[in-house]
Amino acid sequence: MERIVDLDQAVVEITERRRGWERAGLVVEAVTWRDEAAPWPQVLETERGRVQDPDSMGVMISGSNEAELGVVLFRGGWADVDALTLAGDVVAEAPAVDSPVRFGVLLDNCVIRTFGVLAT
């Protein structure tokens, strides 16, 4: 897979937002990493050091009324976004993401759409 986004830099965007999300009452699970070099089926790891050649990383966030958001960023330059919003809407998207900064903007937009809050 082509390397368009540095996943190690992109995970900083999650780290910088985590405390604000948690203060807003959201539950943020551990970041998961997938190793392209691992044999199939690849196991998701929560420890970055266990992954030699990361091809994706992701995070699950949940809130009240069963609202939840999952965002997985692929180094190839896209994200998988799946959400069940507070309003009961189901979201499944695969937007292009070409930088860690754009990943941060995507996270902010997804949290607002899913939970109705921007927690910084």
Model pTM? 0.94
Each residue's pLDDT tens digit, 73-93: 999 999 999 999 999 999 999
**What residue spans of 3-49 are helical by DSSP H?**
7-23
Residue 56 has pLDDT above 90, yes or no: yes
Residue 99 has pLDDT above 90, yes or no: yes
Q: For residues 60 and 62, what is the distance between their CA atoms, to the nearest angstrom?
A: 7
Q: For residues 31 and 59, what is the distance between their CA atoms, to the nearest angstrom?
A: 5
On average, the pLDDT of the chain sits at 95
Residue 9 has pLDDT above 80, yes or no: yes
